[in-house]
């Protein structure tokens, strides 16, 4: 059940553990099925998410929805969360201190949801899961196994907007999910 997840979300709503607590409009906790088999981890909320309170509801979210289509899932089947729960001003990169302050929420989300497959979207979440020296282009498309999880590093959906040459590799990860 999701009671503990709901309780954590309520606690997170008043989080002021880093400076982003003062600049956010809305804390973006995560969304989807609280007992999902597949969990996606993005980077941080953007402007739309900061306004709307849900992950991936802007331009990058359209590519994530297409990815889900290819993989044969709806948003209600999966769970989506971010490394940072609050928007960095002007969508700048998350800072190490912010990740440090925020990560206990994500660790609890992973433990409570207990996914079988974790898809890391982009460099920040991939490094958070696989280690700080990980290079996204070197691991994208590979399958890793850690504890009870399959880890699938993937380009960030926003990267497809700026560089269409990454598109095939991005959607190939969606096809790989079916093999697991």
Q: How far is the CB of 35 from ligand URA (least distance, A)?
A: 21
> CB-wise, 61 or 115, nearer to ligand URA?
61
Q: Which stretch binds ligand URA (CB under 6 A): 1-9, 36-44, 93-101, 160-168?
A: 36-44
Cβ contact 12:85 at 8 Å? yes
Q: What are phi and psi of 110, to 5 degrees?
A: -60, -45
Query: CB of residue 83 vs ligand URA: minimum separation in angstroms?
Result: 8
**Over 64-108, what HEC string results?**
HHHHHHHHCCCHHHCEEEECCCCCCHHHCCCCHHHHHHHHHHHHH
Cα-based distances in Å from 163 to 58, 98, 157, 167:
17, 28, 10, 8
By beta-carbon proximity to ligand URA, the closer residue of 3 and 38 is: 38
Q: How far is the CB of 93 from ligand URA (least distance, A)?
A: 11
Structure tokens of 132? 């700080």
Using CB under 6 A as the binding rule, whether residue 98 contacts ligand URA is answered as no
> Percent helix, strand and coil across the chain, each rounded to 5?
50, 15, 35
Nearer to ligand URA, 13 or 148 (CB): 13
Residue 46 interacts with ligand URA (CB under 6 A)? yes
- Residue 55 as a binder of ligand URA (CB under 6 A): the answer is yes
Spatial separation of the C-alpha atoms in residues 127 and 134, rounded to whole Å: 5
- The answer to whether residue 56 forms part of the interface with ligand URA (CB under 6 A) is yes
Residues that bind ligand URA (CB under 6 A): 42-46, 49, 55-56, 60, 82
């Amino acid at each position: 059940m999701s009671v503990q997840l709901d309780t954590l979300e309520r606690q997170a709503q008043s989080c002021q553990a880093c400076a982003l607590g003062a600049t956010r409009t809305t804390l973006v906790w995560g969304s989807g099925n609280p007992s999902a088999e597949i969990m996606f981890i993005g980077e941080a909320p953007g402007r739309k998410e900061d306004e709307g309170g849900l992950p991936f509801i802007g331009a990058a979210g359209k590519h994530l929805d297409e990815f889900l289509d290819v993989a044969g899932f709806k948003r209600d089947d999966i769970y989506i969360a971010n490394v940072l729960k609050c928007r960095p001003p002007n969508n700048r990169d998350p800072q190490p201190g912010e990740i440090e302050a925020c990560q206990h929420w994500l660790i609890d989300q992973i433990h409570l949801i207990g996914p079988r497959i974790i898809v890391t979207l982009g460099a920040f979440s991939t490094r958070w899961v696989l280690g700080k020296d990980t290079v996204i282009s070197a691991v994208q498309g590979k399958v890793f196994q850690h504890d009870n999880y399959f880890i699938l590093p993937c380009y960030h959906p926003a990267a497809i907007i700026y560089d269409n040459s990454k598109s095939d590799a991005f959607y190939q990860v969606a096809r790989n999910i079916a093999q697991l």
